[in-house]
Each structure stands twice: as structure tokens, then as C-alpha cells.
Amino acid sequence: MDDTDRELLRALLADARTSWADLARQVGLSAPAVQERVRKLEREGTVRGSSVRLDPARVGLGVSALVGLQQREGVDADDITRSLAEVAEIEDCWFVAGDETFVVKVRVQDLADLDRTLRVLRHVPGVTRTRTTVVLDTPFEGRSRVL
């Protein structure tokens, strides 16, 4: 990865819908050269696609929580991961070091929905305990940076 790739990544992070021509002007290359570079970054897995970011509250998901999950001894973490992937309310899942084995970010409609989701998480095979932190406000999230 060179400085031009880094410039392209910064531009795409700012606006993933930028045209090839606009990207080309920003980095000083032709549009076909920019398209080729971006496609290469996608093939290598550096760029994992582009997405639409929604306002959770406006789509009915006004409550967020971080839930720590403790793993039972002798249970394979991959088995837990597969079970967690089936829980639609989980937006992100991290395998972590510390008291918990996993931390998941959950988005739900309301507190009753959160209670229901926590009951589901407590019954995931291999999970011994959960610890929940309800998010009161999100000043920012989802930031990415390029070195």
C-alpha cells in the first residue's frame, strides 16, 4: 500500500459514493487507474465494501447496549460465535481479553425488547453470565482511519 492508496482510502471513508472521476482528481490519477486501484484493494480485502449508515432511532432501534458474555469452561468459542451470529439484534461482536470472552453491541426497539434479547443471550449454549451496559448517548461511532 502506497501513499496514493492511503489517499484513496481517506477519500472513500469521507464519501464512499464519490465518483471515479472525483476520486481521480483528488489523488492525481486517471479514473480508470483509480478504479483499478480500488478494485485491487477490494480483492486484497483492504476495502470490505461500502454501506449505507442508518440512524438507528429513525428506523425503530432506539436502545443500544453493550453486553459482555462469559464463556463456560470447556466450550469452544467458535460454537458460541455461531450461535451469536443467529441473534439478529447483535450488530457487532468482539472476542476480547478480560472478564468476559465476548462483548456484543445490541440494538433494539425498547427496554422490553432488550430484556427479551438478554434472555436469548443468557440461553446461548456455553454462556455462563452476561453483563449489560445500556448506552445513554452516542457522541460518535464507526470511525475508521488510515495510517
Amino acid, res. 128: T
Which pLDDT belongs to residue 52? 84
Instruction: Kindly give the parts of the chain with pLDDT less than 70.
Output: none
Q: Summarize pLDDT for 43-55 with one digit per residue, the tens.
A: 999 999 888 889 9
Fold assignment, 58-135: Alpha-Beta Plaits (3.30.70)
> 93, 115, 107: which is closest to 63 by C-alpha?
107
Residues in CB range of 140: below 8 A, 6 or more apart: none
Distance CA 108, CA 76 (A): 28
Domain with CATH 1.10.10.10 in the chain: 3-44
Which pLDDT belongs to residue 143? 86
Fold assignment, 3-44: Arc Repressor Mutant, subunit A (1.10.10)
Which pLDDT belongs to residue 142? 87
The sheet carrying 127-135 orders its strands as 90-95, 102-108, 63-71, 127-135
User: pTM, whole model, 2 decimals?
Assistant: 0.84
Domain with CATH 3.30.70.920 in the chain: 58-135
